[in-house]
Chain A
Amino acid sequence: MADRKIRILLAKPGLDGHDRGARVLARTFRDAGFEVIYTGCHQTPEQIVGAAIQEDVDMVGLSCLSGAHRYLFPEVARQLKAQGADDITVVGGGIIPEQDMQDLYDAGLTALFTPGATLDSIVDWINENIKPRA
């Protein structure tokens, strides 16, 4: 049986509309051979978690540039866990101050990508760390 491709849900939680990064990444992931679902701006944590489970993804990538990551990122991780779906890896990106990072890792985020991360470095990280689930 052919290997299943890595499936990624890219999402923008909250009210932030800065979607340039998310859209560039959606194309990057598609070009890298991943299956990408991008749900657009203004998703609530409930919607994101629902889509992640429904689409049976291996990883959720959250992008937020408004400063609301401190509430929204942990909330996605918490709800995934509450639904018994914490085998889905959650990563985040955006304007994330250094001092917020430990809290986010403690809340269940696996990786954080901040300004300056190259597209290839993000793809490499995924290839090394995300395995398509059987």
Chain B
Amino acid sequence: MFTEELLDKSSTMRKKWEDEVKKTVAKHADQKEKWTTVSDLEIKRLYGPEDIKNMDFEKDIGYPGQYPYLRGNQVTGYRGKYWTFRMFAGMGSAEETNQRWHYLLNSGQTGLSTAFDFPTLMGYDTDSPKARGECGKCGVAIDTIDDFFTLIKGIPLANITTSMTINPPATALWAMYCAAAELQGIPLNKIGGTIQNDMLKEFIAQKTLMCPPEPSVKLISDTVEFGTKYVPRWNTISISGYHIREAGSTAVQELAFTLRDGMEYVEDVIERKGLHVDQFAPRLSFFFNSHIDFFEEIAKLRAARRIWAKAMRERYGSTDERSWWMRFHTQTAGCSLTAQQPYNNVIRTATEALAAILGGTQSLHTNSLDEVLCLPSDHAVQIALRTQQIIAEETGVVNTIDPLAGSYFVEALTNEMEEQAWDYIHKIDDMGGMVKAIEKGFPQMEISDAAYKFQRQIDSGEKVMIGINKYNIDEDVQIPFLEIDDSVEREQIERLNAVRRKRDSRKVRECLDDIRTACKKGENVMPYCIEAVKNYCSVQEICDVYREVYGEYRDPGMY
């Protein structure tokens, strides 16, 4: 990167500076001895040319839209198009969520993102004994396609992309979306969106569980194959680090486990479905957390793009540059917010959003100030959306592409995180892959260690969270509180029963038998799922077939 002459000069000047530092510190000690990121990565007082002297400009940095995509996928950066303003929303009934969606679209949001309630996420109907008390609490309740029609009422499916955070029952919910589009006369090759559909991170972190890892990956490969053939604008997996981080991982662990999960899916689709990597890899998308440590997050996102490009090209022999692009959504860190002095959360979220944007995200959700307490109120959501709009339209950070490139610190940190991530990736390779590593509890225990260490650091005051362990105040903050009434559950069960009465139950049984047969034969379940939801099979009925054929996975409760 630099001439020998410059490095010599820098070295001389550095010695002089170091002497001055020693003298100054002898008189005025630093405020603390060790300076670390929120993930406990040690940071030096100063970075200079010597920290990035081994970088190869062409191989390691390059230009936007060029390998290794460190500086972004888009050749025009944010000038051509901002990231998608995509706020995650869902609560109570399908009707309420539909109203929230219209509110967000009218406020300038550019994409939709669906939060489902826990019964839907876990593949249970609202009237299941396991679902008692949960209906509509953390998202919208969807039992059958009847609810789905209500959810998408007035939403133009042909020209808005919708993201659905759904994992074990992803086949069923995606089938509803496909069926609804077909019934509206929109061909499948015209709809666009994302299903999260990433089970590996569920075993590692989020714990919405249904079947064991191996068949879970099979169902995911089914969706990839179906999307490749019939729904080419759909992102069939959103390979997610968000939940890994929220569960307490470090930034490097988030980076490494997420990318290794992505590699596991790539390998499974190639092996199981016989597809070439470039037939499907362009539709793989990613989802990261943006935590409070500003530069660590920027470095993480930049490193992620470079690792993926290298992996696709070198590990899988991909020759299509669209496979090399890591496209990702980002959400600011829920776990960085505090219930105490909740208005401070606006500042945290703004900082995290800025990091995501400087890291080159293509889509963003900003948390609302009240999200640590409850589902966000309309007003709180508006502030969160405005946060993105202010960064985009007022701050000027979008004027130039990847403005932090070439910073000694940012490049050195990016390199360091990439290196540490590859160490993890190779370790998991040596275990036989991610499914095997999960069965051993490896990523789970690494995260537990990090989470426990962080909590101890908070309790001892070594790490600071304002309002938790510093600048605490006695307060009685009354923020407007959105609560889901228990009547939502009763009404949802009534709706479900009404659907059950009017549907053709013989047809329902036939459809479920077809899915069962497909599972047993190892066929792709997607066409059968679409037929099943059109005939009003419920989410649980479809998932019960999976549980019956593949077995049920229970959280082993590791700590």
Contacts and interface: CB of A to CB of B under 8 A. Distances in A.
Interface string B368-407: 0000111000000000000000000000000000000000
Nearest to A19: B207
Interface string A17-60: 10110111011100000000011111010000000000000000
Contacts of A120: 459
Contact of A119 (B207, B456, B481): B456
A38 B459 contact: no
Interface in B465-496: 467-468, 481, 483-484, 486
Nearest to B484: A67
A27 B459 CA distance: 15
A118 B246 CA distance: 19
A68 B338 contact: no
Given A66-B137, A71-B132, A97-B481, A116 B340 contact: yes
Given A14-B133, A67-B484, A97-B374, A115 B208 contact: no
Contacts of A16: 118, 134, 138
B34 interface: no
B451 A95 contact: no
Contact of B557 (A38, A44, A97, A116): A38
B338 A115 contact: yes
A17 B455 contact: no
Interface string B532-559: 0000000000000000000000111111
A68 B124 CA distance: 15
A15 B130 contact: yes
Given A17-B208, A114-B339, A66 B138 contact: yes
A16 B247 CA distance: 13
A126 interface: no
Contacts of A97: 373-374, 481, 483
A120 B247 CA distance: 21
B340 A17 contact: no
B133 A71 contact: yes
B133 A68 contact: yes
B118 A68 contact: yes
B441 to A, nearest CB: 12
A88 B121 CA distance: 33
Contact of A24 (B121, B208, B452): B452
B448 interface: yes
A70 interface: yes
B373 to A, nearest CB: 6
Contacts of A71: 132-133
Given A19-B207, A67-B138, 17 more contacts: A17-B555, A22-B559, A24-B559, A27-B559, A28-B455, A38-B557, A39-B557, A41-B557, A68-B137, A71-B133, A72-B133, A75-B132, A95-B373, A97-B373, A97-B483, A116-B467, A118-B459
14 contacts: A17-B206, A17-B208, A24-B448, A27-B448, A40-B554, A40-B558, A42-B554, A44-B129, A67-B138, A95-B374, A97-B374, A115-B339, A115-B372, A120-B459
Interface in B202-259: 202, 206-209, 246-248
Contact of B134 (A39, A66, A116): A66
A95 B372 contact: yes
Contacts of A39: 557
Interface string B481-514: 1011010000000000000000000000000000
B102 to A, nearest CB: 24
B268 to A, nearest CB: 23
Contacts of B558: 23, 40
A26 B124 contact: no
B372 A15 contact: no
A66 to B, nearest CB: 5
Interface string B117-142: 01101101000011111100110000
B74 to A, nearest CB: 35
B555 A41 contact: yes
A72 B373 CA distance: 18
A119 B459 CA distance: 7
Contacts of A20: 246-248, 335, 451
Nearest to A68: B133
Nearest to B456: A119
Contacts of B134: 14-16, 66-68
Contacts of B124: 15
A15 B559 contact: no
Nearest to B124: A15
Interface in B431-451: 448, 451
Nearest to A39: B557
Nearest to A73: B133
A40 B448 CA distance: 13
A116 B555 contact: no
The residue in A42, A95, A97 that gathers the most chain B C-beta atoms within 10 A of its C-beta is: A42
Contacts of A23: 448, 451-452, 558-559
Interface in B187-208: 202, 206-208
B296 to A, nearest CB: 20
B122 A15 contact: yes
A24 B335 CA distance: 14
